[in-house]
Amino acid sequence: MKLRALLPAVLVAGLGTLSSAQNFSHTWDGTEPTRLGRLFRDGIPSNHTAPKPFPGVFNPGTSYYYYQVNMGGFGPGDIPIYITPIAQTAVSHIAAYHTMAPGAGDMSVNYLGDQGSSSVTSPFSVLLPGGTDLWIFVTTTIAVPGGVGEFFEGNVSTVPEPGTFIAIGIGLAGLALARRRK
């Protein structure tokens, strides 16, 4: 088989692994389910290279609205996931979970990380275990019925590790060298 015929397949396969992005958004309307307590905002955005421990539950006797959405799986191996709040009001706090979001249950189970603060749009990253789904879990930071009419919007994406770029580069260099020898 000619190397020229392989080049498009190599490029498509390599570039297909480079990025996958999805958006999420919601406006609090007061019909959301409620839970007792919310994540403690420790001011530290999660980073997939040094996962932080579960920050704890704040006001476990107070009701807060929550919203959760399954963003799906991103691959078989452990994958760095970048969560970027695009716009939000100060009444929303975004966290990431694997396999299933806690709903009204134990927030420490399957916890991956959170944005650290609710009044900023600072990005955070988590390491999603291979073969599991990513769940975005957001709570209001004002007790029920507060927060109605407020909103949040964000983006979830994968960005390859430098090794992916290196592997693609070596493959392309090898194809170029083979073509040059011919």
- In the chain the domains, ranked by start, together with CATH numbers, are 1-18+162-182 (no CATH), 19-159 (2.60.120)
Which residue type does 134 have?
L
* Beta partners for residue 57, in sequence order: 39
pLDDT digits (tens, 9 = 90+) for 72-96: 988 888 999 999 888 777 688 899 9
Q: Band of the pLDDT at 4, cuts 50, 70, 90?
A: low
Helix (H) or strand (E) segment spanning residue 24? strand 20-27
Model pLDDT, residue 60: 95
Task: Examine the pLDDT at 15 and tell me if it is beyond 60.
Answer: no
CB 112 within 8 A of CB 51: yes
Among candidate residues 176, 179, 171, the one with its CA nearest the CA of residue 10? 171
Please give the backbone phi and psi of residue 13, each rounded to the nearest 5 degrees, phi first. -65, -45
For the chain, give the mean pLDDT. Answer: 81
Q: Band of the pLDDT at 35, cuts 50, 70, 90?
A: very high
* Beta partners for residue 58, in sequence order: 38
Global pTM value = 0.75
CB 39 within 8 A of CB 93: yes
Q: Give me the percent of the chain exceeding a pLDDT of 70.
A: 77
